[in-house]
Chain A
Amino acid sequence: MTHAFVSQVSTPFIPRSTTTTESNKTGSWRFLQPRYDEKTAPCSAACPAGEDIARVEMLVAQGLFKEAWETILQENPFPGVCGRVCFHPCESVCNRGAFDEPIAIHTLERFVADTAMRYGLQPQRMALPPKSERCAVVGAGPSGLAAAYFLARLGYGCDVFEARSEPGGLLRWGIPPYRLPVPVLQWELEHLQALGVNIRCNHKITGGFLHGLKDRYAAVFLGCGHYKSPALGIAGEDLSGVEEGLPFLERVRSGDLPSLSGTVAVIGGGNTAVDVSRCALRLGAKVLMVYRRRRQDMPAFGHEIQMAVDEGVELMELWAPLSIEAHPDGFRLSLQKMEVVSEEGGRARVKPVPGETTAIVVQKIFKALGNTAEEPWLEPPGEIAPHILHLADTVVSRREDGLVVVYGGDLAARSKSVAHAIGSGKEAAMALDLYFRRGWDAIVEETARCRVGPGPSLSMEIYTGGDRCRRNPHVVAFEEINTDYFLYGPRIIQPRLLVEERLQGFSEIDLKVSAALAIREAERCFNCGVCNQCDNCRLYCPDVAVCRDTSPQGRHINLDYCKGCGVCVVECPRNAMSLVENETGGRP
């Protein structure tokens, strides 16, 4: 008996495939898993106002100027002001600096704000439900206005009390028009008022004010700045004609332009001293800046000092004033030579060189030293107590009657700058909202959750749960950028008035840049940690496991098939992805 082998199915001439490989769920091979993981850019972490800069530059590069502007407004109500006067610590930490040159973030911020102003744009705002608590803000300077802005956005009614005739504080009275023209400030103030912030000018607050507040306000923000100049402590400083720096700047701002001649000595090394010097120069004087330490020790911003020197201000470093005497030609200023003893944190400690003194005859003297609070009750409490919180840029104190007093701006911020003042106002608004909604004990922990990277800058976007709130606090390092995807390109040069043109008046020095140049500059940005939809992850996937979709991310990883090779993560130019241990334990 024979059993011939017979096939169960009829065999074709050539076997032909009848199905795809999609029944092989190769995701089960995976032990590591890629995921979209937006991170924090170093510029953003360094910004005292916590602006989402990498995203702003991405939007500028795409020509989405309004969206870029609104992204800044999430964190800062004054992009037009900051695009002019900020000391841009963002640029010195820019990862692009390790490649060729940092992105001109400062110039781009101003471009975005100017574009919004030119077209009279109105920002789209998320409307939070109104809250019953009302807040008072003392001082309409950058910190007070920022506090009012963020409180208003969170739904609180705000009254801002300002001693002077116009709001703006130092922005209006302390920064000369060649750095910040009034219409820019005015325009940004209008937006603030459109939010419902009520600014009462010519309303000076006294120490007694704080007492009767509890009936009307649940909290008060003190942001009245440092306006009182300390005494030099030398003979002759009260002679008539020896003036304070800040009131002089205020006069210049109000349009009272005294004509100066001869030599003017400016004592001090801060931004006020630099601005007084540059104003005096424009009013016809020859200016000597007298400073007891070295140029690199001056608290003034380096680029401002450089511009002052370019314009003809002469620096006298390591000379301390000894005395001022009246002189037929003005004043005789005696000076003591100083020498560096040691350096502490890069700043010199100095002592007099015995016997080495000199005297100069000048026609006018301005004192522009660091300022302090005008009244003792404006100083934040220094003690550590359960009812007092010392946050990064504010001190929050809860009184026995329940009223919360927040000290902010120059009174409490870690550094005196417009950006720090804005950060301080934001921190105050966040702390107050947390106190009202979640209680006193939630403040420290919850503000820490809203830090940009390691902090201390805070993000309102994170606080309010906006689109980018889930970004990883990890700050992207240069080594994590895939630089193969970037070409070398020169940084934009900020166009400026020529020195001769600058000295003829108070016209703004920095000029506008064109949209074409701004876009080109923004395209240089690595967009550290921010997905700009380049699609590399999808392009290179060997397993066709990255799929387009309609989510904000625009694509997702199909874990049924992703083998976890990690090519997408390495080929992401800007580190907006991560390779992590399997979330689903491999088998989907």
Chain B
Amino acid sequence: MELSVQDREYMCSGHVGCPGCGAAIAMRFVLKALGEKTMMIVPACCWSIIAGPYPQSTLKVPVLHTAFETGGAVASGVRAALDIKGDRETTVVTWAGDGGTFDIGFQALSGAVERNEDFIYVCYDNEAYMNTGVQRSSSTPYGAWTTTTPGQEWKKLRKKNIVEALVAHRIPYAATASIAFPEDLVRKVKKAKAVKGSRFLHIYASCPTGWRMPSELAVKIARMAVQTNIFPLYEVENGVRYTINYMPKGYLVREYFKLQGRFKHLSEADLEQIQQMVNEDWELLLRKAGVSPGAAGPVTKID
């Protein structure tokens, strides 16, 4: 696969991410697209660990480890400090997990983007609090097992649609991306870098450990999430202009679910209900993008 990104690596070997870590792959791609002049703000998340214990750092760009709830606020401050120094070249990036974005850091994020602070907020989403031991977050999808939604108490609430929440702030750029679609991901990061104001990237980053699946499927499962419409690839400019980047080929969601241990308790009826939910979300997205369902290829239904 030819990618128009630099060959140079901004991430070192020896980081302590689990084998097959999707968040590590996501970081590699994003830094290749952003380049050297980048400052990373990392609130508490898996990456607080992955980056290495003090005095190590696995990234070749400055990283500021901060408190869980402060991703948006710290980025605002760093941006202001750089502005005072006259550095308009460096891109400020908050790199947060789903817990630090959807739940604990949401207030600071909402505040920062409401002020249209000039930074990129990347949420790498592994759909639960993974480094503390797989506790559910508001990003955990309907149907999933976590240690706080165990056994028959699996999560029976929908995943929060974080991109739509950000779009509601009318920020200049919001997009979803996946580690299984590096070209699309890199293009979106570069596009975000060129925009001024608040930019939000929601990157799907699989977690073999927390999802109870073989590590070698980390990228495949991310691809299937897109192919099944569970995680559609799209971007929204100025809160209104929707573009869908990938049209599905009619894969059923059960193909995605059956590969992961966190979903193994689901019955056929549950899967059917999830398929309906996914179809519903997809049709809603199509309407927002102004695409008629017929033109968008098959929307899958369980027989």
> For the complex, is B269 an interface residue (Cβ under 8 Å from A)?
no
Give Cα A541 to B215, complex, Å: 12
> For the complex, is B208 an interface residue (Cβ under 8 Å from A)?
yes
Give Cα A558 to B52, complex, Å: 19
Asked if residues A17 and B56 are in contact (CB atoms below 8 Å), the reply is: yes
Asked if residues A17 and B54 are in contact (CB atoms below 8 Å), the reply is: yes
Residue of B nearest to A561 (CB): B13
> For the complex, is B216 an interface residue (Cβ under 8 Å from A)?
yes
Known: A540-B25, A542-B21. A19 touches B208 (CB 8 A): no
Which of B1, B17, B24, B179 has most A Cβ within 10 Å?
Answer: B1
Asked if residues B56 and A19 are in contact (CB atoms below 8 Å), the reply is: yes
A216-234 contacts to B, CB under 8 A, are: none
Asked if residues A570 and B219 are in contact (CB atoms below 8 Å), the reply is: yes
Partner of A565, one of B12, B16, B20: B20
> For the complex, is A372 an interface residue (Cβ under 8 Å from B)?
no
Q: Provide the residues of chain A in CB contact with B57, threshold 8 Å.
A: 17, 19-21
B290 to chain A, nearest CB (A): 26
Interface membership of chain B positions 1-42, coded 1 if the CB is closer than 8 angstroms to chain A and 0 otherwise: 101000001011111111111101100100000000000000
Known: A17-B56, A539-B182, A570-B219. A26 touches B16 (CB 8 A): yes
Give Cα A467 to B260, complex, Å: 40
Known: A15-B54, A539-B3, A542-B21. A567 touches B14 (CB 8 A): no
Q: Provide the residues of chain A in CB contact with B60, threshold 8 Å.
A: 20
B51-73 contacts to A, CB under 8 A, are: 51-52, 54-58, 60, 63
> For the complex, is A310 an interface residue (Cβ under 8 Å from B)?
no
Partner of B28, one of A26, A485, A536, A542: A542
Partner of B20, one of A16, A19, A21, A542: A542
B214-262 contacts to A, CB under 8 A, are: 214-220, 223
Q: Provide the residues of chain B in CB contact with A544, threshold 8 Å.
A: 9, 11-13, 28
Asked if residues A21 and B14 are in contact (CB atoms below 8 Å), the reply is: yes
Asked if residues B14 and A25 are in contact (CB atoms below 8 Å), the reply is: yes
Asked if residues A558 and B13 are in contact (CB atoms below 8 Å), the reply is: yes
Which of A20, A30, A485 has most B Cβ within 10 Å?
Answer: A20
Known: A20-B57, A543-B24, A544-B9. A561 touches B216 (CB 8 A): no
A15 to chain B, nearest CB (A): 6
Q: Provide the residues of chain B in CB contact with A20, threshold 8 Å.
A: 12, 14, 52, 56-58, 60
A515 to chain B, nearest CB (A): 21
Known: A566-B214, A567-B20. A21 touches B54 (CB 8 A): no
Known: A15-B54, A543-B24. A21 touches B15 (CB 8 A): yes
Asked if residues A565 and B218 are in contact (CB atoms below 8 Å), the reply is: yes
B73 to chain A, nearest CB (A): 16
Known: A20-B12, A22-B14, A542-B17. A570 touches B28 (CB 8 A): no
> For the complex, is A560 an interface residue (Cβ under 8 Å from B)?
yes
Asked if residues B15 and A570 are in contact (CB atoms below 8 Å), the reply is: no
- For the side of the interface on A, what is the size category? 35 or more
> For the complex, is A531 an interface residue (Cβ under 8 Å from B)?
no
Q: Provide the residues of chain A in CB contact with B208, threshold 8 Å.
A: 565
Q: Provide the residues of chain B in CB contact with A26, threshold 8 Å.
A: 13-16
Which of A17, A25, A570 has most B Cβ within 10 Å?
Answer: A17
Asked if residues A22 and B3 are in contact (CB atoms below 8 Å), the reply is: no
Give Cα A76 to B69, complex, Å: 69
B42 to chain A, nearest CB (A): 12
Q: Provide the residues of chain A in CB contact with B54, threshold 8 Å.
A: 15, 17
A535 to chain B, nearest CB (A): 6
A351-378 contacts to B, CB under 8 A, are: none
Give Cα A403 to B187, complex, Å: 70
Asked if residues A566 and B1 are in contact (CB atoms below 8 Å), the reply is: no
Give Cα A23 to B208, complex, Å: 25
Give Cα A16 to B52, complex, Å: 12
> For the complex, is A77 an interface residue (Cβ under 8 Å from B)?
no
Interface membership of chain A positions 261-280, coded 1 if the CB is closer than 8 angstroms to chain B and 0 otherwise: 00000000000000000000
Asked if residues B28 and A19 are in contact (CB atoms below 8 Å), the reply is: no
Known: A569-B216, A570-B219. A539 touches B12 (CB 8 A): no
Which of B3, B9, B219, B220 has most A Cβ within 10 Å?
Answer: B219
Give Cα A536 to B55, complex, Å: 32
Give Cα A56 to B146, complex, Å: 50
B265-302 contacts to A, CB under 8 A, are: none
Q: Provide the residues of chain A in CB contact with B18, threshold 8 Å.
A: 563
> For the complex, is A579 an interface residue (Cβ under 8 Å from B)?
yes
> For the complex, is A521 an interface residue (Cβ under 8 Å from B)?
no
Interface membership of chain A positions 1-44, coded 1 if the CB is closer than 8 angstroms to chain B and 0 otherwise: 00000000000000111111111111001100000000000000
Partner of A24, one of B16, B28, B217, B223: B16
Q: Provide the residues of chain A in CB contact with B1, threshold 8 Å.
A: 485, 534-536, 539
Asked if residues A29 and B14 are in contact (CB atoms below 8 Å), the reply is: no
Give Cα A541 to B55, complex, Å: 25
Residue of B nearest to A571 (CB): B219
Interface membership of chain B positions 59-95, coded 1 if the CB is closer than 8 angstroms to chain A and 0 otherwise: 0100100000000000000000000000000000000
> For the complex, is A564 an interface residue (Cβ under 8 Å from B)?
yes
Residue of B nearest to A569 (CB): B216
Q: Provide the residues of chain B in CB contact with A566, threshold 8 Å.
A: 19-20, 214-216
A207 to chain B, nearest CB (A): 64
Partner of A21, one of B13, B215, B217, B220: B13
Q: Provide the residues of chain A in CB contact with B58, threshold 8 Å.
A: 20-21
Q: Provide the residues of chain A in CB contact with B13, threshold 8 Å.
A: 21-22, 26, 543-545, 558, 560-561
Q: Provide the residues of chain B in CB contact with A567, threshold 8 Å.
A: 20, 25, 215-216, 218-219
Give Cα A540 to B215, complex, Å: 13
Give Cα A536 to B60, complex, Å: 23
Q: Provide the residues of chain B in CB contact with A401, threshold 8 Å.
A: none
Known: A21-B56, A21-B57. A542 touches B16 (CB 8 A): no
Give Cα A20 to B10, complex, Å: 11
Partner of B16, one of A15, A21, A485, A535: A21
Known: A544-B12, A545-B13. A15 touches B216 (CB 8 A): no
Give Cα A550 to B220, complex, Å: 30
A-B contact pairs, 28 of them (CB 8 A): A15-B55, A17-B56, A20-B12, A20-B60, A21-B12, A21-B51, A21-B57, A22-B12, A24-B16, A26-B14, A29-B19, A482-B220, A485-B1, A539-B1, A540-B179, A540-B182, A541-B25, A542-B22, A542-B24, A543-B15, A545-B13, A561-B13, A561-B14, A563-B18, A565-B208, A565-B215, A567-B25, A570-B219
Report, nearest first, the 3 A-B pairs whose CB atoms are least far apart: A566-B216, A565-B20, A561-B13
| Chain A residues near B (Cβ < 8 Å) | 15-26, 29-30, 482, 484-485, 534-536, 539-545, 558, 560-561, 563-567, 569-571, 579
Known: A536-B1, A539-B3, A566-B214. 18 other contacts (CB 8 A): A17-B55, A19-B57, A20-B14, A21-B12, A24-B52, A534-B1, A535-B1, A539-B182, A540-B219, A542-B17, A542-B19, A542-B20, A565-B215, A566-B19, A567-B215, A570-B217, A570-B219, A570-B220
